[in-house]
A = this chain, B = another copy of it.
Amino acid sequence: MRGVVMYAPGDVRVVEREDPKIIEPTDAIIRITATCICGSDLWPYRGVEPVDHTLMGHEYVGVVEEIGAAVQTVSVGDFVVGSFAVSDNTCEICRAGYQSRCLHGSFVAGDIGTQAEKARIPYADGTLVATPGQPEMDLVPSLLAASDVLGTGWFAAVAAEAGPGKTVAVVGDGAVGLMGVLAAQQLGAERIIAMSRHADRQGWASQFGATDIVESRGDEGVAAIKELTGGLGAHSVIEAVGTEESMLQAIRSTRPGGHVGYVGVSHDGVTLHANQLFFAEVHLMGGPAPVRRFLPELIDLIWRREIDPGKVFDLTLPLDQAAEGYQAMHERRAIKTLLTL
């Protein structure tokens, strides 16, 4: 089969890979219908994270082609959405809603590589969720978004306790930030402030539900959020970048007792001063999103056409042109690239 391999920073190729096979009885093999490029795939692309002939891709929707003997909840022929985190969905941590930290879990990134024609998904019962039927084609991008970028933005909004009566600020105008805006709106937030200095992203944010835009950053950005919130700061802040600057922006934009949900992937060398945390006195929750917790609800919202997160894909290319998809995102010509098969 064909699959995307990143040979080195900036060097993305579509090559022939061995077809995946069932290894464990809990595995499923899926034929991928659509996959995409994640903002986090840009870290190795830019040389910020190590990369060496790495199998790329961790977002996916597709049709089940084969199941192991122990798989019970998905069947051959089902259309499925999967999380980027493998989970058994039965351990105590999964049952508490933290499937991205499943005791038997792993990450699809690296090991599996879903920017490919097929993928082996471990713990299929715990990782995949079947849609109510075969989706109409125009729903596929939204279902694909649920696999990571929507699920992650949703988790951030939940972790930030976005909801009725709340003012939510969103730090980061990438795909995850935009999905955080959508999630905050769905969760009933009263006011949603998107922090963005790019006109096109501002437009997207407004489309997804932002009520206010703040262009400034740093001290000025914090001051702008305070001005919009009676001097107090936002109740809920979504952090969707993963740098020291963005974490501080989020923490400082939150009122005392408020909540920060952070999902920007942090890197070695990003440090926080305990002092600043201590005197900020805000709730912090974040990490790799337990997308599986939210999948049934998100699939239902998409199926009923209540939400249209698929709009976040502003570039669609065939898998063979993956390299151009990376390049476009790297140059910020595209927010997020969908790859078709």
A267 to B275, CA, bound (A): 6
**Could you tell me if B98 and A256 are in contact, using CB atoms closer than 8 angstroms?**
yes
**Could you tell me if A270 and B273 are in contact, using CB atoms closer than 8 angstroms?**
yes
A191 to B262, CA, bound (A): 30
The residues in A between 233 and 288 inclusive whose CB is less than 8 angstroms from any CB of B are 242, 244, 247, 255-257, 262, 265-268, 270-275, 277-288
Copies of this chain, count: 2
A277 to B250, CA, bound (A): 15
A314 CB within 8 Å of chain B: no
Most B CB contacts (10 A, CB to CB) among A268, A272, A274, A283 go to A274
A19 CB within 8 Å of chain B: no
For the complex formed, measure the closest distance between the CB of A190 and the CB atoms of chain B, giving whole angstroms. 14
With A231-B103, A271-B271, A283-B283 given, is the CB distance from A278 to B262 under 8 Å?
yes
A337 CB within 8 Å of chain B: no
For the complex formed, measure the closest distance between the CB of A177 and the CB atoms of chain B, giving whole angstroms. 17
Residues of chain A at interface, number, CB under 8 A: 40
A142 CB within 8 Å of chain B: no
Binds B, one of A52-60, A89-97, A212-220, A315-323: A89-97
Q: Which residues of chain B come closer than 8 Å to A231, judged between CB atoms?
A: 103
**Could you tell me if A288 and B284 are in contact, using CB atoms closer than 8 angstroms?**
no
A100 CB within 8 Å of chain B: yes
Listed A/B pairs (18) with beta-carbon separation below 8 Å = A93-B232, A93-B257, A96-B257, A97-B257, A101-B256, A101-B257, A266-B273, A266-B274, A268-B275, A270-B273, A277-B286, A277-B287, A278-B287, A279-B287, A280-B287, A281-B286, A281-B287, A283-B284
